[in-house]
Structures are given as C-alpha cells and as structure tokens.
Structure 1
Amino acid sequence: MSMLTPPGMGGRYRITGDTYPRMRPPRRRVRLVAVVVASAAVLGAAGWGTSQLIDVFSGDRNPAAGSAADCRLKAAAAPAARVRALPAPGRITVNVYNATRRTGLAKDTADQLRRRGFRIGAVGNAPQKLDKKVKGTGLLLGPAAARDTSLRVLGTQLAGADLRTETGRKGADLDLVIGDAFKGLTRQADADRAVTALTAPVPSASPSATAPAAASAATKKGCAAR
C-alpha cells in the first residue's frame, strides 16, 4: 500500500492503512467565541446598573411601600381626629324630681348621682305638669344649648330616658324626672363606658378632610405591608 501525505501538512502526518489523524479546530475561532461571550456579559451588567441608577434618581418607587421614615412623616402629617368637648359630671347640676307614686326615689337617685360626681340641685316631687305623667324610665330636661352636651352626659346615667329641651329655659341646670318604669340608674361601669364613648375622637366629615383621610388610610396600608 502506498503512503500519502495530505496537502498542507508539510509531511508532518502520514496516512498508512486505515488510521487517520485527529483534526483540531483552529485556535483563532475559539478565542473569537470567548471574546463575544465576555462582551455580552459586560454589556448586560452595564445595562442593569444603568437601569438601577435611573430608578433611584427618578424616584420611581412604590409609594405604598415607602421607607420607614416616609411612613413616619406621612403619619405625622395626617390630620388629627376631632374630639367632642363635653362637660365633666362635676360641672353639671341636676335637679331630681319624682313623678311616680313611690316615695323616696328622688332622694336615693340624687345620692347616687352625687357619688358619681354630679352636682345636685333641687330634690323632691315633680311639678304638677309632670306629676304621674311620665310613663317611661325618666325624662331629662334642659336648655337648647345642652342638647348635645350636658344632656348627653346625664343620659348615660339613665338608659331609655327621654331627652327634651325647653325653649326659653334659663340657666344651665338639668332636670331628671323619674318615671313609672324607673328601676334604677344605669350600672356605673356601663355608664362610665358610655361617657368614654361619647368623648371618643371622631373623624371630620367635611369634604376637605375626605381626601387626607383616604390618603392616610392608603399610607397606613402601604406601611403595614412592609
């Protein structure tokens, strides 16, 4: 069998029989592939860094998930709730009258109210226009200015009592007229809770306060999500 030398091999390899040399790819192509892969990695990292810088300086962040400092600032800027201004029992004078056929109710009730901090004025039988004519637990009377203040406070002491105002009534004193269904004052613990509920802060219902209230709620939700 004759021996042949493949072209371009300069006589380095000789083919004999059925055995052929293993051909290696040119090294220049391998270097080119490595350069392309490295360039792609560098460009990708540069693009990611650029997007992060743009995001930071443009302030494009989720407002609902702001930082803890943002949450504290927004909470401090939220409008405070309005608190009802009601007089304390010690500034309310109550006249206690009995409009029933049972005796001693006016004095006993007046003594209980005094122990609860109210000032006590007149104590005795109801005037003729009300005597034997109050069918419920009681009737609370006062001037028009007391409708949403001292009358409300006194109303916590006698559940189910009627609250009425009298036009032209002078002074700030209130009348508690005991009626036929009276079985006693409201338990003091329940009455105290009712007074606390009356003086609890309430949000303003004005249109200008609606938007801040909604914004405050959104801020609290976003901060809680953190």
Structure 2
Amino acid sequence: MSEQIASNLSAIRHRMIQAAEKAGRNADDVSLVAVSKFHPQEAVEAALKAGQRLFGENRVQEAASKFPQLRENWPDLKLHIIGGLQTNKAVDACRIADMIESLDRPALSNAIEKASQKCGRLPGLLVQVNTGDETQKSGIPRKDADAFIETSMNRFGDNIRGLMCIPPESEDPVAHFNFLNDMARRHGLPVLSMGMSADFEAAIGAGATLVRVGSAIFGSRPMTVS
C-alpha cells in the first residue's frame, strides 16, 4: 500500500506542476488536499510518510477516529472537513479541523459560531457554492451566494478564506470553475477549492488554489464501508 500511495502522490504532484505551468501559474500556489474518506488510518499514514500533509475528510466522526493520533507523530498535519456538515457536528468540526470547506447556510453559521466559542478556536472557513443549483448537493444556491458570502465575511472576518464548489457531473466543469473564480475575486477572497480526481488539471487552469484528490491517490473506496 505504501509504495502505491507514494507513487500515486508523485504522479499527481507532477500533473499539478504541469497544469500550473500550462496556465502560466506558480505551482507553489496550488495545494493538494488528499481526500482520505473511507480509507483506513494506515493509508493516511502511508501518504504522510510520502510527504503529504494536507488531508480532507467528509465525515467528522471518521476524521476524529483517524487524525488526533496521527497528529502526535506529524504535528504539521492539516485537516479539512470537505463534506456537508450537520449543525450537531459543528463542535467536533471546530475542535479537530484546520478548515471547514462546506459553510453553506445560516443555520450552520450559527452552529459554527457557538461551537467556536465553546471550543475556543475557529477553523478557516470556505463558503460552498452550489454552482449547478443541484437539489441533491450541499452548497448555497447561486442566487443567494453573494449575500451569504458578505454576511459570512462580516460575521467571521478573515476566517472566511474563500469558496468551494463541486460542479455537476454531467456538465463541463470549467464554466463552474470560472464562475466561482469570478465570485471569489469580487469578494477579495484568495482561496478557491475546486477540482477533484477527474478534473483537477482543468481547475488549476481556472485558478484553483486547492484541489481535492482522493481515488487517484488512495484507490477506490473500500466496499466494506457502509
């Protein structure tokens, strides 16, 4: 497992550099979020040994079972919560995450504010925009996004770092990436989390500063996980 994950990481990093160079960008301006959801702690450890330090998890409970122990050996490890976040998980998310990428509704803003006061720490926050207005996906609808971003910036200040999106699978992602980039520029937000295993190179070309790659690093999700 360790050798394969190290090889996969090396290949992804090489592709990221090539995509950045093609776009006339500095490759150092794009960071890789290794999405380790549903993969065991051993897989994360293999990636850490290969030099990866930034990870993404969908489920707070799963993240809490993996990462606190790993931080003991790798204190520079960074954890992002990238999945839709339930309000009742806000305390745990604020406690363990360095960034929450899925702020998408006022109720969650309220929960995160209360949780941060309880924990004494507030992670970085990205507003997730539902660029395809898909009913089955998390994210603030396009028509409400600008107002929600402004409200969030007024509420959380510099902790609002940027925006995140997951384009519809059936559409060209570039239009969605460009939409998000334009929105981030209007609000003066520097972080753009967009692009996954199938389209991260296009996302880098469109200005992504974070790309979220899982299966291309860790392989298919284990079928035993419910």
TM class by smaller structure: under 0.3
**Bigger radius of gyration, 1 or 2?**
1
Report the structure, 1 or 2, having the larger helix content: 2
Higher strand share: 2
User: TM-score, normalised on structure 1?
Assistant: 0.21
